[in-house]
Amino acid sequence: MFNILEKYLPNVVAQGWSGDAGWQTAILQTLYMTFWSALFGGLLGLVFGLGLVLTRQKGILENKLLFSIIDKTVSVFRAVPFIILLAFVAPFTKALVHTQIGETAALVPLTLGVFPFFARQVQVALESVDLGKIEAAQALGATTLDLIFDVYLKESRSELIRVSTVTLISLVGLTAMAGAVGAGGLGNTAISYGYNRFNNDVTFVATILVLLLVLIIQLVGDYLAVKFNHQER
- In this prediction, residue 138 has a pLDDT band, given cuts at 50, 70 and 90, of confident
Mean pLDDT, residues 166-183 taken together: 85
Average pLDDT, the chain: 89
> Looking at residue 230, what is its pLDDT?
55
DSSP-H helix ranges across the chain: 2-8, 10-15, 23-54, 64-79, 82-88, 90-97, 103-127, 131-139, 144-146, 153-155, 157-178, 185-188, 200-232
**pTM, two decimal places:** 0.90
> Looking at residue 184, what is its pLDDT?
84
State yes or no: pLDDT of 117 exceeds 90: yes
Q: In whole angstroms, what is the distance from residue 34 CA to residue 185 CA?
A: 10
Mean pLDDT, residues 131-142 taken together: 87
List of domains in the chain: 17-232 (1.10.3720.10)
Mean pLDDT, residues 95-123 taken together: 91
